[in-house]
Chains A and B, each alone.
Chain A
Amino acid sequence: MSTANASNSPGKWVVLPHYVFGAVSFLALSLLLLLSGDAFGGHYFHPKLLTLTHVAVLGWATMIIFGALYQLLPVVLEVRLYCEKLAICSFVLLALGTVLLAYSFWFFQVGVTLHVAACSLFISFLLFTINMVQTARSAPYWTVEADFIVTSAVWLLVTGLIGLLMAVNFTYPFLPQEHLHYLKLHAHIGMAGWFLLLIIGVGSKLIPMFLLAHCDGTKLLNGSYNLINAGLVFFIFDHLFFHTKLLPVYALLVIAGVGLFLKFVFEAKKTMQRPDIDLGMRQTFVALGLLIIPLCLVLVVSSGLSLPPALMASVYLVYGLSVFLGFVSALILGQTFKTLPFIVWMHAYEDLVGRFKTPLPKDLYSHALLLWQNRFYCLGFLVLGAGVLLREQAVFMVGALAFTVAAILYVVNVFHLVLHKVQDLKPFAYGNAKA
């Protein structure tokens, strides 16, 4: 018989600021989308598109993932976070770096401001990676989830390093090849190495937990980890040194890895004990469904098909859109309401459990707002994608508008949660507990 430890949760000031900054960034992103209709008619290397991408990737997605991970890592690895101060420093640098980077790209000032932004971000990623590695090292045993999380943190650091080199290269050109060459590397390491691995690592623990499902074995997850990393490493070496025509093969390795993860989720869903799936998990399944779009498009962009240049440019844009505003955003929109209510609830009510009739985490936010948020998000994303593909600015603006409504509903619900105050509670009389 093994005896367990006390809770490993970090303080709320480590976690909650990430959610607040992430929510504000999501709203800022949607407002910037409304101002960027003209940018979606050409190449993806456009100041406004660079701004939008980095606000989405850093201010919104990475910010929320950092915060959620500080709360979830102790659950996944069964150990306390290595250092809370490191997490706070990482947050400050990520926030500063994101704001400066967005400013630099929007006004295309690629001098000192961009350098400071890139340095802040790289140091933030470095501190985050140290925190992840040291936390995982002190875990009681190494798991496949630890493999995913630690490797994703290392890929994030590599992504940040390439970004920093490109930022310096704007002012002092020293890289041997053109900027776009490294941009492809930067983007794909970020997408597959950081987001995909991290989401699979955390999702493989949380999805069965939220579904009350029972999963045996780690064969599928090990396969997924190996395939995605193999595809990514082959791609990097090929892109840097060999320039073969094997890119679709590497893409297929990554797709196969994702396929194994989806099979894992499907197996978990088959054994779930919950009779109904709540809105947060429904949105998570929407995100997993949306993942099919970039997986198909990566084959198109890597296969070197001779499509008309304008169409190819649109495909590239929809590809990026389907990763950051599709899969990643949909997942965060759903998982926010699986993680944040619990975090807020724990800090407000954990000392009152068993003594007073406390609300549950699901009682702390508006389900109606969440339902409409999810609907407007789906509408916004699909119409945005159609607008970009068809190069119709009016259609794009309708999508951006629906996206903004979703962002407003999200922000209202997140602030409602974060500002939650404990109400007068009725003490239990210990006589008639609900069976």
Chain B
Amino acid sequence: METLKPDVIQEVLNTLKYIIDPEVGINIVDLGLIYKVEASDKELDIELTLTTKGCPMSGTITTATQQILKRKFPNHEINVELVWWPMWTPEMITEDGRRQLEEM
């Protein structure tokens, strides 16, 4: 994950933690779905993936990412790109994500 402006990047990630994958039950950041966050003064570029290709949540998660970041950063242009490479694997779940899974 690239970080050009650490404070903003962290804020973006914290905001994206409000988006929960409905099947797994943990947020998309700790699920390891956010591949890249880049920030400039005017733009936020996000690259994210899904747990499986063809996931019916694709539209929901990309739209939610767009909307939630627009609310948090109204003066930025938000660019969200859904990518499939590298392919997501369960090993990408963060330590926090694993802890949340154990608590379920």
**Residues of A at under 8 Å CB distance from B?**
1-9, 71, 74-79, 205, 209-210, 212-214, 271-276, 342, 345-346, 349-351, 353-355, 358, 360-362, 428, 430, 433-435
Q: Are A430 and B104 in contact (CB-based, < 8 A)?
A: no
The CA-CA distance from A217 to B20 in the complex, in Å, is: 30
Residues of chain B within 8 A (CB-CB) of A274 are: 101
Q: Which of B17, B23, B56, B81 contacts A435 (CB 8 A)?
A: B17
In the complex, the answer to whether B82 meets A3 with C-beta atoms within 8 Å is yes
Q: Is B61 an interface residue (CB 8 A)?
A: yes
Secondary structure at chain B's binding surface: helix, strand, loop or mixed?
A: mixed
CB neighbours (8 Å) of A434 from chain B are 17, 27, 100
- On whether A8 and B20 interact (CB within 8 A), knowing A213-B90, A275-B101, A430-B72, the answer reads no
Residues of A within 8 Å of B5, CB to CB, are none
A192 to B59, CA, bound (A): 36
CB distance from B29 to the nearest CB of A (A): 9
Contact B19 A2, beta carbon cutoff 8 Å: no
Instruction: Given A212-B90, A354-B18, check contact A2 B84 (CB 8 Å).
Output: yes
Q: Is B61 a contact of A353 with CB atoms below 8 Å? A: yes
CA distance A362 to B60 in the complex (A): 18
* Residue ID in chain B nearest A210 by CB atoms: B23
In the complex, what distance in Å separates the CA atom of A355 from the CA atom of B50? 20
With A271-B90, A433-B15 already in contact, the answer to whether A75 and B56 are too (CB < 8 A) is yes
Specify which chain B residues have a CB less than 8 angstroms from the CB of A74 in the assembled complex: 54, 56
Nearest-neighbour CB distance to chain B for A232, whole angstroms, equals 28
Between A and B, how many residue pairs show CB distances below 8 Å? 122
The smallest C-beta distance from B18 to any residue of chain A, in angstroms, reads: 5
Structural contact, B67 and A4, CB atoms closer than 8 A? no
Choose from A5, A71, A275 the contact partner of B58 (Cβ within 8 Å): A5
> Are the CB atoms of A214 and B17 closer together than 8 Å?
no
Residues 2-19 of B, flagged 1 when their CB comes within 8 A of A and 0 if not, give 000000000000110111
Does the CB pair B60–A342 fall under 8 Å?
no
CA distance A345 to B60 in the complex (A): 12
Nearest residue (CB) in A for B52 is: A209
Cβ of B41 within 8 Å of any chain A Cβ, yes or no, is no
Nearest CB of chain A from residue B34's CB, rounded to whole Å: 13
Write out the residue numbers on chain B whose beta carbons fall within 8 Å of the beta carbon of A8. Answer: 54, 56
Report which residue of A273, A274, A353 has the largest number of chain B beta carbons within 10 angstroms of its beta carbon: A353
**Chain A contacts for B23, CB-based, 8 A:** 209-210, 342, 361
Contact digits for B59-77, partner A, Cβ 8 Å, 1 yes 0 no: 1111111011001100000
Instruction: Tell me the smallest distance from the CB of A79 to a CB of chain B, in Å.
Output: 7
Task: Verify A430–B18 contact, CB threshold 8 A.
Answer: yes
For B104, the chain A residues whose CB sits under 8 A away are 275-276
Question: How far apart are A295's CB and chain B's nearest CB, in angstroms?
Answer: 30
- Does B59 lie within 8 Å of A6, measured CB to CB? yes
* Interface membership of B40, Cβ < 8 A: no
Partner of B18, one of A3, A7, A361, A433: A433
Tell me whether B57 and A7 are in contact (CB under 8 A).
Answer: yes
List, in ascending order, chain B residues with CB within 8 A of A355's CB: 64, 67-68, 71
Q: Judge whether A79 and B54 touch: CB under 8 Å.
A: yes
The interface residues of chain B lying within 8 Å CB-to-CB of A205 are 52
Instruction: Say whether A354 contacts B19, CB under 8 Å.
Output: yes
Q: Are B24 and A78 in contact (CB under 8 A)?
A: no
